[in-house]
Structure 1
Amino acid sequence: METAEIRRRWLAYFEARGHTVVPSASLIYDDPNLLFVNAGMVPFKPYFLGEQQPTWDRATSVQKCVRTGDIEEVGKTSRHGTFFQMNGNFSFGDYFKEGAIDFAWGLLTTSQADGGYGLDPELLWPTVFRDDDEAYALWRDRIGVPEARIVRRDEEDNYWSMGVPGPGGPSSEIFYDRGARYGAAGGPAVDEDRFMEIWNLVFMQDELSAFRTKSDFDIRGPLPRRNIDTGMGLERMASVLQGKDNLYEIDEVYPVLAKAAEMTGRTYGAKSGHAATSSHPDDVHLRVVADHIRSSLMLIGDGVTPGNEGRGYVLRRMLRRAVRAMRLLGYRDHALPQLLPVSKDRMKASYPELETDFARISQIAYAEEDAFRRTLDAGTTILDTAVTKAKKQPSPQLSGDAAFQLHDTYGFPIDLTMEMAAEQGVQVDEAGFRFLMQEQRDRAKADAKAKKSGHADVGVWTELLSLGRTDWQAYEHLSVEASVVGLVRDGERQQELEPGATGQVVLDRTSFYAESGGQIADSGDIVTDQGVLKVLDVQRPVKGLVVHTVQVQDGPVRVGEQVQAKVDPGWRVAACQAHSGTHVIHAALRQVLGPSALQSGSYNKPGYLRLDFAWGSALSPETRSEIEEVANLAVRKDLPVSAQFMTLPEAREWGALALFGETYDEQVRVVQIGGPWSRELCGGTHVAHSSQVGALTLTGESSVGSGVRRVEAFVGMDALHYLAGERAMVAELSGLVKVQPAELPARISELLTRVKDAEREIAKLRQQQVLAGAGDLVAGAKDVFGVRYVGHDAGAASADEVRALVLQLRDQLGDATPAVVAVTGVSKDRPVVVVATNAQAREWGVRAGDLVKVAAGVLGGGGGGKPDLAQGGGSDAGKTGDALTRVEHTVGETVTAR
């Protein structure tokens, strides 16, 4: 049974039993504690925490998940993977243990012909929490599982919590016996390789008041409403139903592994006899490729782009690990164009959007591979330099610092560093590298822990939300009468905020737009009977609650007081122009560049917008002009702008674009400009007709990562002010060079050519001037213990001029006797020194590289080079004379020490 069919049967089974099918949330989820969705229950967490009320009593989903905590272990075992899919069924105060157990047993054991999975009941082993007699009895008496196959386990295995105070409860896991060839008999307590967990039923019934460890917590009492949260690993079930040993061999993963093996000429498992448990490097690398290609496909599909921080860094790391693994398997050509389409073809049955969006996805992935290949080339050069230096040591070794720098700064993987260093007979201080890596991980964990502790910060907002949701009227009104529901300062609820204080205000209703979807919050005032509160920011710390950060100008303000929330009308108009302008630019990009130029992020505020979109190369001036023209023509057409609410499936069927990383309710708001020309899911504020956007002027276009570009623009009056400034600048330049504006480019080009010609002539004259006294300098050469020495300060001279003089002086000194030349110069307030020696001097042990290091040290810098010619510099231009004197002394010391 293919994975897509297992998925379909799951949803159909629970939908037929009264569950609402909830689409998978994006892997990018609006949760400050999570980098990615890492469990099937994450989108339902607000319901379990009581922050929101679900619109249904029963739900089911197949949720996309990514876990990257043990990414280094991927491929080394058959268990570790990054992307997976979690089947879940959920009850919110509806059925409880009996229903959850009935549903699970029914789906697992119903024959495949009747829509189930058709597992042999004799091979299923339930586990229950140690003290959960109710679940034990249900399995024994209702389902009929023999007591010998029902296992009681402790908190570590069979009690679930979120790791913080909140809901928790015992769980019941279902294990499948894969047979004697996988391990010892005796059930999951004996061998969890043979007995593989396939389903976890969580009975959420307790309220935890303190949480110290996984097995050490306090239970305050029962939850007011009991819930069910279950999770079945789709890949695990696929391995069972497809008769495969592990997730790497199921239908959605193995084709990529097989393609990688074909490309590299390797055979999976050939050198180990058993691929599933093989630790042979070839098999490990092939599993890394299979896992990371699929994970990267899904992450890019959900809007992640490669970068150096957060989610982008995880994606970049996985793409590069896949490319690196192919390289270690001996494949040097571009790998992703052959591997990524294979993964897309296997995943599109469950996620058809991967095919429709593949042009964008592949563009981003292939650009990252190109960037990494360049990194490998650059890193190889740096590595070769470091290895050459290391080989000069008595015991050749590349330091841990050098290996870490290659890894951290250049993205050069440690195993590639070790492999290439070993080829040249150099060891790598792996222990030193691992120490530095662990330090970095510890810092990251500390940071993550600090962020996770922020979960407690929502407590005060949850309390205020329990008093009622904010009646949000930003779409309808700029000013509303309201009552102060709560006041907060430094995270603590207050009864009053005094004049001069900065804090947060929660109103029962508001007209202020809270920052979201790239649009910043409204500006304005909250007016009381006694004074004014300046609104500094507006946010939604929990869904349903709007919080205003204010500075009390006059006051005080008290809980329960009647106020007026007044948005600055000019601010709102300009904000609407910018947000609608963002939609117009996005539509123009797609019209000019094609449908793959999808927005991946935006930011807009009154008068300004920026938009990130998927594209692999810089836009030409002509393309930028065309995009700008299409956008302004849309503005001139006075296209109608409208917004309406509908279900998410209806919006998708209507062709509305959903922005990556956004979290949408069952009911979504679709904003369209000119009908299907621009149709996006959006919660922002907008103009009524496109003409109200005003002028749109693109001011910049740049790269913000592999396969992602950014355009910036001014909007409305700010665009006109920008153009007026450009016009004034053109007028000023035209006046300075005394031509008409249309003639300005040609005139500036002519002037630049003349300036360059003049600079070349000046440089030529200066060089002639520097060289003119060479004969006198040779004639005045000193005798330093048999070496003819010329030391000269050329004053204001460039490095090239100094070098030319040094070479001419050495040539004139000839090779009859040992000779050394040292010349200093100063260019742009920075001193430079060049030293040259002839063959006779080098035979006497006098080397230019050694001498230039001495001189550069006096100048406060460094340098180096070959024995015959070397160059250095520094920061102290006042010590050129001292540097030359020091060179002369060193020549004497070297000669006399022979």
Structure 2
Amino acid sequence: MDTAEIRRRFVAHFQAAGHTPVPSASLLLDDPNLLFVNAGMVPFKPYFLGQETPPYDTATSVQKCIRTPDIEDVGKTTRHGTFFEMCGNFSFGDYFKERAIELAWDLVTKSQADGGWGLEESRLYPSILDGDDEALALWTKVTGLPEHRILKLGRKENYWSMGVPGPGGPCSEILYDRGPDFGPDFDPASLGPDMPFALEDRLLEIWNLVFMQDELSAVRSKEDFDIAGSLPKKNIDTGMGLERIALLLQGKQNMYEIDVMFPVIERAMELTGRAYGADPVDDVRFRVVADHVRSSMMLISDGVTPGNEARGYVLRRLLRRAVRSMRLLGYDEPSLPELLPISRDKMGETYTDLHTDWERISRVAYAEEETFRKTLQAGTTMFDQAASRVKQSGGAAIAGPEAFQLHDTFGFPIDLTLEMAAEAGLSVDEDGFRSLMAEQRERAKADARSKRGQHADTAAYRAVLDAHGPTEWLAYETLETESRPLALLREGVAVTSLGNGEVGEIVLDRTPFYAESGGQAADAGIIEFDGGRLEVVDVQRPIKGLVVHQVRVVDGELPADAALLHAQVDPDWRTGARQAHSGTHVVHAALRQVLGPSALQSGSYNRPGYLRLDFGWTTGLSPEQVKDIERVSNEALRADLPVGWQYMTLEQAKDWGAVALFGETYDNTKVRVVEIGGPWSRELCGGTHVDHASQIGTLVVTGEASVGSGNRRIEAFTGVEGFNYLARERDVVGQLTSLLKIQPQDLVPRVADLVDRLRSAEKEIERARLQQLLSGGAELAASAVDVGGVRVVAHRVDGAGGGDVRTLALDVRGRLAGDQPAAIEEIGAADGKVSVVAALNESAQARGLSANDLVRAVGPFVGGKGGGKADVAQGGGTDTSRLDEALAAVRAAVASSGS
């Protein structure tokens, strides 16, 4: 019985009994206590907690669930999977224990011809909470089973609560005896309240009936709690794992082999050339692939994107474990494009949104694999070197600094390093790693505080502020001031002078310079003094109220007691800065107009002539959307929308509709609201702006891309830089049209035609190359040497990769078809990597030869390993210096097999 039919029968059974069928909720619910929906009852929690009135007395559902604590055990047992479907029936004060038992037992034991599942009663063992005599009596009444067939288990197994004060109650499980192949024989009458670990695979729990009847006042642990009294209404919450029923009804050994999962394993076998069931280590990897591919797909479908925190991190880990498992199975090409559609086609029979939303789902998954492949390529080499050094020195652990370097340089998450170390028989100095991570976080905070690595100690700045008061900041009013120096500093220490060429800091009593803030770069300009000049490199506010200028002395020597200075902002710089900052507001407003109000800015940076704006969005924008954003922005410039600002309280700003960004803390007594075109754009902002939108000049969007999970970035040029960008584009078009001797409007089709012709030529070259490669097949077959009655071709192909080597090996094998045993092993070397493929005909296999053995025979000589089936196996390595020895080892392995 396929999984879809099992699911259908479950819902039909309870619907016929008067239950309202409820569709599965999303895996993501607004529950602060849960990362994902982890049980079928989660969407019904408000009803069980009395927070909401249920719209029905009874309900049934098949709920999507994700559980993540057991990721490390996936594939190792029959019970652990990340994504699963929980079948459940629920009563909200309607029926209770007896009816719940009747409904469950009827579906489980009713014949398949009558719409049930038809499990043999002789293999079913109900369980109760030890001491729940009412449940014991009801089970014997409903099922007719003798009391000794009903297991009496303790609170650990058979009492349910949410882990907090609230509803709870005893449980009854239905267990299925899978037979002696899955555990020792047992006497049900002699089992105590704790289920023996040895029986957990044999007595497979398929259904849990929760009799929600108690009000808990304290929950200290799963087995330690206080019962304050009875609930005013007694409820039923049941949960049955769909995959567990499926493995029983389909006669499978575990959940990974059922109809909705095993096709992924079958495709993985085709891709890797390895057989499921041949090697226990490989079997775990195949199961990880099947589980994680499905789980990742379902998470992406419900809106999760890969990231470094919370849900995004779980998804990233699942995807990367799947990809890495395929690599460990010997498949180095992108695997998700091969596997994910298989899972989609099976799960899409029920969840049709997998088909309708496939473009987004696949795009997210494939992009993450590509990113991870780059990470693995560099990081795996470093890990292997580190592991080799540890083993050669007789050690047992990867050092903390090396684990940190893997993380910091190559993006290896620590859990991946831990997994790889465990596979290599090593541990990791996690404490050392965590210590270095903490130091890095502290350095990052210090750098942020000190602004680009300057001295982080604010004592010197505090002393200046205490002595002279806050800087008179005039950036909004003027571009130049006559100012008096209050302090000279170098690396956070007061100095008496700055010499020619030296870099230091100067604090003025008043300044026209804009200090970097709100995404706007600091002003550039000069400060002149009697006998010299300073170049302003940067302007910051290391403490509130104080503006500090980082300067370079370009002429003369500046004494700390200098008289009046002349500070002047570069007017062209300020004009460009104003254009870019106002342009940022325009793009933000256009973005919200095109995409909707949920497209909110999450960060920005602007300097003269350039802006970038980050915003929360889960998918890439289409070219049409980007064009619309640019068009709306330039329409605002053409309309010459007025730009103004005024001060008001934070509450007034919110009432006025102003957008506050970045989660910043604002002074409630006075905030500055900048508006462009009235309500079209209103934002809290302290930057410098143009007076009218037309003064931005032009706005040219140059790019849109991802900058992390759920975040996109738009970049644009403004003002003269925008015109320059368009001029450069025009020049490129002019050069191409001149070169191709066509009109500009014909450029795109002509280039497209050239690209098509180039691709056709490349394909033709590839076909010719392949023909040339295979043309040597006949000669190779003819060169086969007899080794103990086996025709052997052991050949080296320089410059060939894995695909070419496999093609050649299979071609030669085909030419040696016949009754005489034939063994072919091709070894290719390209770009410092070795590819090995062994292929045997049927006669060679009948003689007892295995392609697996021939590939493994060359492993020590090429610095690698491999495997596959008896007829075809493949492997690889990194040592190209001993290929001739490897070929000799092939012939020796064939010779020894016949002795």
Could you tell me the TM-score, scaled by structure 2's length? 0.54
Does 2:764 match 1:761?
yes
Residue in structure 2 matching 1:600, options 602, 605, 626: 602
Closer, same or farther: CA 280–812 of 1 in aligned 2, 3 Å: farther
The equivalent residue for 2:896 is 896
Conserved? CA contact 2:163–2:221, under 8 Å? no
Deviation at 1:725, TM superposition (A): 1.5
The equivalent residue for 2:751 is 748
Instruction: Tell me the SS of whatever aligns to 1:581.
Output: helix
Q: Deviations over 1:269-297 (max 9, x none)?
A: 999965442356999xxxxxxxxxxxxxx
The equivalent residue for 2:579 is 577
Closer, same or farther: CA 437–797 of 1 in aligned 2, 3 Å: closer
Instruction: Tell me the SS of whatever aligns to 1:746.
Output: helix
Trace 1:793-804 onto structure 2 (pairs within 5 A): 793-794=796-797, 799-804=802-807
Trace 1:426-465 onto structure 2 (pairs within 5 A): 436-448=429-441, 457-465=457-465
Closer, same or farther: CA 864–498 of 1 in aligned 2, 3 Å: farther
Does 2:631 match 1:690?
no
Residue in structure 2 matching 1:792, options 778, 791, 795: 795
Deviation at 1:525, TM superposition (A): 1.1
Does 2:279 match 1:278?
no
- Supply the distance in 2 between the matched residues of 1:512 and 1:760 (Cα, whole angstroms): 60
The equivalent residue for 1:567 is 569
Does 2:808 match 1:805?
yes
- Supply the distance in 2 between the matched residues of 1:511 and 1:522 (Cα, whole angstroms): 9
Point out the more displaced range, 461-470 or 767-776: 767-776
Closer, same or farther: CA 332–744 of 1 in aligned 2, 3 Å: closer
Trace 1:9-24 onto structure 2 (pairs within 5 A): none
The equivalent residue for 2:615 is 613
Trace 1:368-767 onto structure 2 (pairs within 5 A): 371=312, 374-375=315-316, 377-379=318-320, 381=322, 436-448=429-441, 457-466=457-466, 467-561=468-562, 562-665=564-667, 666-767=669-770
Deviation at 1:524, TM superposition (A): 1.0
Instruction: Tell me the SS of whatever aligns to 2:689.
Output: coil
Closer, same or farther: CA 387–716 of 1 in aligned 2, 3 Å: closer
Instruction: Tell me the SS of whatever aligns to 2:769.
Output: helix
Conserved? CA contact 1:483–1:509, under 8 Å? yes
Closer, same or farther: CA 269–705 of 1 in aligned 2, 3 Å: farther
Deviation at 1:714, TM superposition (A): 1.0
Q: Which protein has greater RCO, CA pairs closer than 8 Å, 6+ apart?
A: 1
Closer, same or farther: CA 679–508 of 1 in aligned 2, 3 Å: same
Trace 1:202-281 onto structure 2 (pairs within 5 A): 275-278=218-221
Q: What value does the CA root-mean-square deviation take over the aligned residues?
A: 4.8
- Supply the distance in 2 between the matched residues of 1:591 and 1:779 (Cα, whole angstroms): 72
Deviation at 1:743, TM superposition (A): 1.7
Deviation at 1:375, TM superposition (A): 3.3
- Supply the distance in 2 between the matched residues of 1:793 and 1:584 (Cα, whole angstroms): 63
- Supply the distance in 1 between the matched residues of 2:649 and 2:304 (Cα, whole angstroms): 31
- Supply the distance in 2 between the matched residues of 1:733 and 1:477 (Cα, whole angstroms): 47
Q: Deviations over 1:236-288 (max 9, x none)?
A: xxxxxxxxxxx9979xxx99xxxxxxxx99989999965442356999xxxxx
Closer, same or farther: CA 654–746 of 1 in aligned 2, 3 Å: same
The equivalent residue for 1:782 is 785
Deviation at 1:800, TM superposition (A): 3.3
Conserved? CA contact 1:578–1:715, under 8 Å? yes
Instruction: Tell me the SS of whatever aligns to 1:536.
Output: strand
Matched residue type, 1:806: A
Conserved? CA contact 2:617–2:711, under 8 Å? yes
Closer, same or farther: CA 660–866 of 1 in aligned 2, 3 Å: same
Instruction: Tell me the SS of whatever aligns to 1:685.
Output: coil
Matched residue type, 1:278: S
Conserved? CA contact 1:846–1:891, under 8 Å? no
Instruction: Tell me the SS of whatever aligns to 2:513.
Output: coil
Q: Deviations over 1:83-133 (max 9, x none)?
A: xxxxxxxxxxxxxxxxxxxxxxxxxxxxxxxxxxxxxxxxxxxxxxxxxxx
- Supply the distance in 1 between the matched residues of 2:211 and 2:484 (Cα, whole angstroms): 69
- Supply the distance in 2 between the matched residues of 1:577 and 1:676 (Cα, whole angstroms): 20
Deviation at 1:596, TM superposition (A): 1.1
Instruction: Tell me the SS of whatever aligns to 1:512.
Output: coil
Total equivalences in the alignment? 555
Closer, same or farther: CA 830–439 of 1 in aligned 2, 3 Å: closer
- Supply the distance in 2 between the matched residues of 1:715 and 1:896 (Cα, whole angstroms): 76
- Supply the distance in 2 between the matched residues of 1:692 and 1:737 (Cα, whole angstroms): 38
- Supply the distance in 1 between the matched residues of 2:771 and 2:425 (Cα, whole angstroms): 57
Deviation at 1:815, TM superposition (A): 5.3
Deviation at 1:656, TM superposition (A): 1.2
Closer, same or farther: CA 824–387 of 1 in aligned 2, 3 Å: closer
Deviation at 1:608, TM superposition (A): 0.7
Matched residue type, 2:433: Q
Conserved? CA contact 1:844–1:895, under 8 Å? no
Closer, same or farther: CA 460–366 of 1 in aligned 2, 3 Å: closer
Mark the runs of 5 or more structure 2 residues left unpaired by the alignment. 1-31, 36-161, 168-206, 227-290, 331-395, 451-455
Instruction: Tell me the SS of whatever aligns to 1:461.
Output: helix
- Supply the distance in 2 between the matched residues of 1:798 and 1:487 (Cα, whole angstroms): 64
Deviation at 1:559, TM superposition (A): 2.1
Conserved? CA contact 1:611–1:710, under 8 Å? yes
Trace 1:179-194 onto structure 2 (pairs within 5 A): none
- Supply the distance in 2 between the matched residues of 1:778 and 1:443 (Cα, whole angstroms): 58
Conserved? CA contact 2:541–2:547, under 8 Å? yes
Matched residue type, 1:620: S
Conserved? CA contact 2:498–2:504, under 8 Å? yes
Instruction: Tell me the SS of whatever aligns to 1:705.
Output: coil
Deviation at 1:450, TM superposition (A): 5.4
Q: Deviations over 1:524-577 (max 9, x none)?
A: 111111211111110000000000111112232122322111111111110111
Instruction: Tell me the SS of whatever aligns to 1:476.
Output: coil
Closer, same or farther: CA 789–623 of 1 in aligned 2, 3 Å: same
Could you tell me the TM-score, scaled by structure 1's length? 0.54
- Supply the distance in 1 between the matched residues of 2:551 and 2:740 (Cα, whole angstroms): 52
- Supply the distance in 2 between the matched residues of 1:895 and 1:535 (Cα, whole angstroms): 80
Deviation at 1:782, TM superposition (A): 1.8
- Supply the distance in 1 between the matched residues of 2:524 and 2:212 (Cα, whole angstroms): 64
Closer, same or farther: CA 883–848 of 1 in aligned 2, 3 Å: farther
Conserved? CA contact 1:379–1:412, under 8 Å? no
- Supply the distance in 2 between the matched residues of 1:266 and 1:544 (Cα, whole angstroms): 65
Conserved? CA contact 2:864–2:877, under 8 Å? yes
Conserved? CA contact 1:784–1:888, under 8 Å? no
- Supply the distance in 2 between the matched residues of 1:365 and 1:874 (Cα, whole angstroms): 31
Closer, same or farther: CA 802–584 of 1 in aligned 2, 3 Å: same
The equivalent residue for 2:58 is none
Deviation at 1:774, TM superposition (A): 2.3
Instruction: Tell me the SS of whatever aligns to 1:719.
Output: helix
- Supply the distance in 1 between the matched residues of 2:572 and 2:627 (Cα, whole angstroms): 29
Deviation at 1:886, TM superposition (A): 2.4
Instruction: Tell me the SS of whatever aligns to 1:457.
Output: coil
Deviation at 1:871, TM superposition (A): 3.8
Point out the more displaced range, 764-773 or 377-386: 377-386
- Supply the distance in 2 between the matched residues of 1:700 and 1:282 (Cα, whole angstroms): 58
Point out the more displaced range, 272-281 or 624-633: 272-281
Closer, same or farther: CA 515–817 of 1 in aligned 2, 3 Å: same
Conserved? CA contact 2:787–2:894, under 8 Å? no
Matched residue type, 1:458: T
Matched residue type, 1:671: V
Q: Deviations over 1:607-636 (max 9, x none)?
A: 110001122211111111011000001011
Point out the more displaced range, 803-812 or 572-581: 803-812
The equivalent residue for 1:108 is none
- Supply the distance in 1 between the matched residues of 2:496 and 2:426 (Cα, whole angstroms): 56
Closer, same or farther: CA 853–718 of 1 in aligned 2, 3 Å: farther
